[in-house]
Structure 1
Amino acid sequence: MARFAGATAVVTGGGSGIGAALTRALTSAGANVVCTDLDVAAAEAVVGATAGAPGTSRAAALDVTDGDAVRALIDEVVSTDGRIDLMFNNAGIVLGGNTELLAPDQWDHIIDVNIRGVVHGVAAAYPHMIRQGSGHIVNTASMAGLAPAGLLTSYVMTKHAVVGLSLALRTEAAARGVGVLALCPAAVDTPILDAPGVGGFTGRTYYLSGQGIRTPYAPDRLAREALGAIVDDKPLLVVPVQARMAWRFSRMAPGLMQKLAATFVADQRVRQQL
């Protein structure tokens, strides 16, 4: 991973899960990482665990819903390091359950974090990358952004937006020397699997029964594969193989996929007594 030696990277949502794994993978590859999180203590713990790695890392508090704060952090990184090579817009939340139970403020919150949080990262980092003539933006989406199913309606909506933003920006950024990658994993073994939903929804049951996957994907494996996808300049990283198969099937037979998803959602309502 010589590509990453000495590179400057910013990771949002770095205090746990995929963000923490990305921080570990980047420092192991020799990058200098700013690990950010709303919970700065969690980010500091991740940074502490990377001591001795070829690269360096430091923690910073960041609320990705605050566009001014995101811009100020990126500007500070560029001022200190002279550049920003990698921007990982990874922070995200989920809220599962029957759609009619979601309150307007819950819709607003998931839009603010999952969509505006990514937009803020792109808006802050992309102009610097254009001036440099290089860089890579990596947005954490989800398999939910490629093959939708109910009971995750708000999450699916936001992740579709992230996929669309990423693929559209990629076609524009290519001429500027900037790469764009969207991560679209199925269930990953992170705290998001156990995030509370509405009306008694249980995420871990939903994710692991709905995607033909009994064991969630290891975040460190996903992080290593993400770095490989950057090197290969891939538009999307869809893992594991079951997720890629489901995605391809949804593209070939969208009507049938919708029927299967409806059957799955009905089964989940029975299982979880929703």
Structure 2
Amino acid sequence: MNFEGAVAVVTGAAGGIGAALAKALHARGSSVVLTDLTEEAVQQRADELNAIRPDSAVALAGDAAESEHIQACVDLAEQRFGPVDLYAANAGIGGGLGLEATDQQWQQALDVNVLAHVRAAKLLVPQWLERGSGHFLSTASAAGLLTQIGSATYAVSKHAAVAFSEWLSVTYGSRGIGVSCLCPMGVNTNMLRGPSTATRAVTDAGEVLEPDDVAASALEAVAKNEFLVLPHREVHEFWRRKSSDYERWLAGMRRYQDSLV
């Protein structure tokens, strides 16, 4: 994919990986619609980009999991810049912890981490098929390939995000539509801050990367039309161990979990 002159929508763009993706896309010549729940924060990010290149970014606050808001973002992009070339489904939520997670927490995690992707794809893929091009960038997690100690809602919903991205790639990858699935481990964002076992499980497992580094890895993969994006190299080895000997991997994860208590 060529980013120069492209039109992108980035969800969860007020901070963290989303803000870094918007900044990286903008630096490569794209026009960007940024969306997040907090109007003031996401508007600030758009203002920062417009200060560099006027009339190249616009903010729209709202819930990235709602079909009406996704449609509004796409409509805004078309009105201001043109048809959407790249949709970065980046907004994410941790949800609850173990079996104590409420039904509401489960639904929120599934809505934001999975169904937001589905709803965006339902809207955009038919348009992209007509044009013969388009790229869907899904921010999942290493938890979607491995698991997340301490958070069932996060582990399950991120597995589903990876599975949906795989399905998109298999179904539409030969018809001009690119799909990339970003699966980082520890990233220096607000989601990683806190004393919980889930947080320690991530920070103790490997290096904590900066959002800009993760965004650069993601866009490099998009440019090459590569599917799996692993900014943390150790994740590939963890994933290999899991697939080669599931029982041994599960036993090791149980030991790791016990060490965190």
TM range (shorter): over 0.9
Distance 1:172 1:54, change over 3 A: farther
Aligned-partner residue type, residue 123 of structure 1 = K
What is the match of residue 267 of structure 1?
259
Q: How many pairs were matched up?
A: 260
Shift, 1:79, TM fit = 4.5
8 Å contact from structure 2 (residues 230, 236) kept in 1: yes
What is the match of residue 250 of structure 1?
242
What is the match of residue 69 of structure 1?
69
8 Å contact from structure 1 (residues 28, 54) kept in 2: no
Tell me the SS of whatever aligns to 2:58.
Answer: strand
| Counterpart Cα distance in 1 of 2:209 and 2:55 | 25
| Counterpart Cα distance in 2 of 1:12 and 1:57 | 13
8 Å contact from structure 1 (residues 31, 55) kept in 2: no
Shift, 1:17, TM fit = 0.5
Aligned-partner residue type, residue 250 of structure 2 = Q
After TM superposition, the score normalised by the length of structure 2 is 0.93
What is the match of residue 165 of structure 2?
166
- In structure 2, which of residues 161, 185, 203 is the aligned counterpart of residue 208 of structure 1? 203
Q: Which runs of 5+ in 2 are unaligned?
A: none
What is the match of residue 111 of structure 1?
110
| Counterpart Cα distance in 2 of 1:149 and 1:103 | 17
| Counterpart Cα distance in 2 of 1:54 and 1:38 | 24
| Counterpart Cα distance in 2 of 1:54 and 1:185 | 32
| Counterpart Cα distance in 2 of 1:32 and 1:13 | 16
What is the match of residue 86 of structure 2?
86
| Counterpart Cα distance in 1 of 2:153 and 2:209 | 23
Answer with 51-60 or 65-74: which moved more.
51-60
| Counterpart Cα distance in 1 of 2:54 and 2:222 | 19
8 Å contact from structure 1 (residues 30, 54) kept in 2: no
1:16-95 alignment, distance < 5 Å: 16-50=15-49, 51-53=51-53, 56-95=56-95
Shift, 1:71, TM fit = 1.9
Shift, 1:167, TM fit = 0.9
Distance 1:19 1:202, change over 3 A: same
Q: Which runs of 5+ in 1 are unaligned?
A: none
Shift, 1:37, TM fit = 0.6
Q: After superposition, give the CA deviation of every residue in 1:8-37 in whole Å (9 maximum; x if it has no partner).
A: 000000001000000110110010000111
Aligned-partner residue type, residue 125 of structure 1 = L
Tell me the SS of whatever aligns to 1:87.
Answer: strand
Q: CA RMSD in A?
A: 1.9
8 Å contact from structure 2 (residues 149, 201) kept in 1: no
Distance 1:202 1:55, change over 3 A: farther
Shift, 1:141, TM fit = 0.4
What is the match of residue 140 of structure 1?
139
Answer with 222-231 or 71-80: which moved more.
71-80
**Identity over aligned pairs, percent:** 32
What is the match of residue 13 of structure 1?
12
Answer with 183-192 or 49-58: which moved more.
49-58
Shift, 1:49, TM fit = 2.3
| Counterpart Cα distance in 2 of 1:159 and 1:236 | 14
Tell me the SS of whatever aligns to 1:100.
Answer: coil
Aligned-partner residue type, residue 201 of structure 1 = S
